[in-house]
Amino acid sequence: MLRSCPPSLDRDELLRIRSLKLATSDRDHVFFALQIDYLGKLTPAIDVAAFCDRWKLDEGDLYKALGDLRKKGIVVSILSQLNLQLS
């Protein structure tokens, strides 16, 4: 019997996973949101208010998650206007 591949992760699926509390970490939520919105972009410029609204995050939670991702080496730098360099 062949198994079908799971659907790719998109915004609706990530928000559903978060609402079901299957993934509760803001760090993980932001990581996947960045992958969805900025896949392949090494230095995305992010409109913080729009990103937080789109992904249902508080700005403080976004910055904390980005700090955690920076410690993990996923976000290389966070510039003042929130241009990110992703590894």
pLDDT single digits (tens) 31-86 = 999 989 988 887 788 888 899 999 999 999 999 999 999 898 888 766 545 556 55
Task: Scan for tokens 């410690």, then name that residue.
Answer: 71
Mean pLDDT of the chain: 82
User: What does the longest C-alpha to C-alpha distance in the chain come to?
Assistant: 53
pLDDT of residue 3: 45
CA pair distance 47, 73, nearest whole angstrom: 22
Domains of the chain (ranges; CATH) run 11-86 (1.10.10)
pLDDT of residue 79: 58
pLDDT of residue 86: 59
Give the CA dihedral 43, 30, 52, 80, nearest 10 degrees: -40
pLDDT of residue 13: 92
